[in-house]
Amino acid sequence: QSALTQPASVSGSPGQSITISCTGTSSDIGGYNYVSWYQHHPGKAPRLIIYDVTNRPSGISDRFSGSKSGATASLAISGLQAGDEADYFCSSYSFYNSLYVFGTGTKVTVL
Amino acid sequence: EVQLLESGGILVQPGGSLRLSCAASGFTFSNYLMTWVRQPPGKGLEWVSSISGSGGATSYADSVKGRFSMSRHNSQNTVFLQMNSLRAEDTAVYYCAKNPGDYEAYYFDYWGPGTLVTVSS
C-alpha cells in the first residue's frame, strides 16, 4: 500500500506553534475518521498522542491537537517545548489490502 | 503501568526462520487484540499481523501471508511472531503494539521499544 505523505521535517522555536500534515486518499484519510498520531523518540516505544482524528488519550497535553480536511489530516503542537523534539507519524485505516497505512514520518526540531 | 517488551531479534540468513516474543504487563492481556508492526531501515512503518484476544482470529499483511504466523499464550501474557522463509526485505525493527480493545479500533494505545531483525548472508 502507498504510505501517507508527511513533510520530512518541521522546526520551530520554543513557545511557537507548528503543524504537521498527513496526506492520503479517499480510500484512507478521506473516507474514514480513523486517523491517529504517534510521537517517537528513537530507540524508545512510540506514544499515542491523537486517535480518531481529534481525540487525545488520557495524560496527553492539550498542546497537541488533531484535525482533518478531506484527505489531509493535521497535527498541531502549540507552546513548543524541548521535549517535543521527536519523530511524529500518522496512521489511518485503509480500505485496501492492509488494515493500516502509516505516514512517512516527520522529524520535529526545536530550535 | 502498561509495558510491552519485544525480544528475539537477531541476524539471520535468507530463507531462515526466527520467532519474536512480546511480553506484556499492566493490563488484562486476554482482553486485548495485539499487533505486530515493522519499520525497515530508513523507511516507513508497515502493519504486519494482528491477533484477537482469544487467539482464535489472526490477520496478516499480504507481504507476509503464508510465511509469518502470529500466536499468543494468554497464561504467559506473551504474543509471538513466527517468521519463516525470511527475505532481505523483512529486515526491520519489529514493534509489538496493543489495541484499545478486543476489536480493530485502527490505532494502538501502547507500543514496545522494538527488536531489530536483520536478514542477510
pLDDT of residue A97 exceeding 90, the answer is: no
* Residues B92, B38 contacting (CB under 8 angstroms): yes
Band (pLDDT 50/70/90 cuts) for residue A95 is: confident
C-alpha span between A82 and A84 (Å, rounded)? 5
Backbone angles phi, psi at B89, to 5 degrees: -75, -5
pLDDT higher than 80, residue A2? no
The chain A residue lying nearest B60, using CA atoms, is A98
Q: What is the pLDDT of residue A1?
A: 55
Q: Given an 8 Å threshold on Cβ–Cβ distance, is A34 in contact with B110?
A: no
pLDDT tens digits, A18-65: 999 999 999 999 999 999 999 999 889 999 999 999 999 999 999 999
Tens of pLDDT, residue by residue over B67-103, are: 999 999 999 999 999 999 999 999 999 999 999 988 8
DSSP state of B104: -
Cβ pairs bridging A and B (under 8 Å): 65
Q: Are residues A38 and A47 in contact, defined by beta-carbon separation less than 8 angstroms? A: yes
Residues A73-94 have a mean pLDDT of 96
Give me Rg for the CA atoms of chain B. 13
Under 8 Å CB-to-CB from B51, ≥6 apart: which residues?
B33, B34, B35, B57, B58, B70, B71, B72, B79
Q: Which of A48-52, A59-63, A106-110, B41-45 has the lowest mean pLDDT?
A: B41-45
Give the DSSP letter of residue B100.
S
pLDDT exceeds cutoff 70 at B2: yes
CA-based nearest distance B47→chain A, Å: 6
The whole-number average pLDDT for the span A61-83 is 97
Over range A94-106, report the average pLDDT: 86
% of chain B surpassing 90 pLDDT: 93
Average pLDDT of chain A is: 94
Judged against a pLDDT cut of 90, whether residue A98 lies above it is answered with no
pLDDT > 90 fraction of chain A, expressed in percent and rounded: 89
Stretch B53-62: mean pLDDT: 94
Cα gap B27→B22, rounded to integer Å:
14
Nearest to A91 by CA among B104, B28, B92: B104
Contact between chains at B46 and A52 (C-beta distance less than 8 A):
no
Residues of chain A contacting B112 with CB distance shorter than 8 Å: 45
3-state secondary structure of B15: coil
For the four alpha carbons of B118, B77, B99 and B69, in that order, the dihedral sign comes to positive
Q: Secondary structure of B30-83 in the HEC alphabet?
A: HHCCEEEEEECCCCCCEEEEEECCCCCCEEECCCCCCCEEEEEEHHHCEEEEEE
pLDDT at A91 over 70: yes
pLDDT at A36: 98
Q: Does B27 touch chain A (CB under 8 A)?
A: no
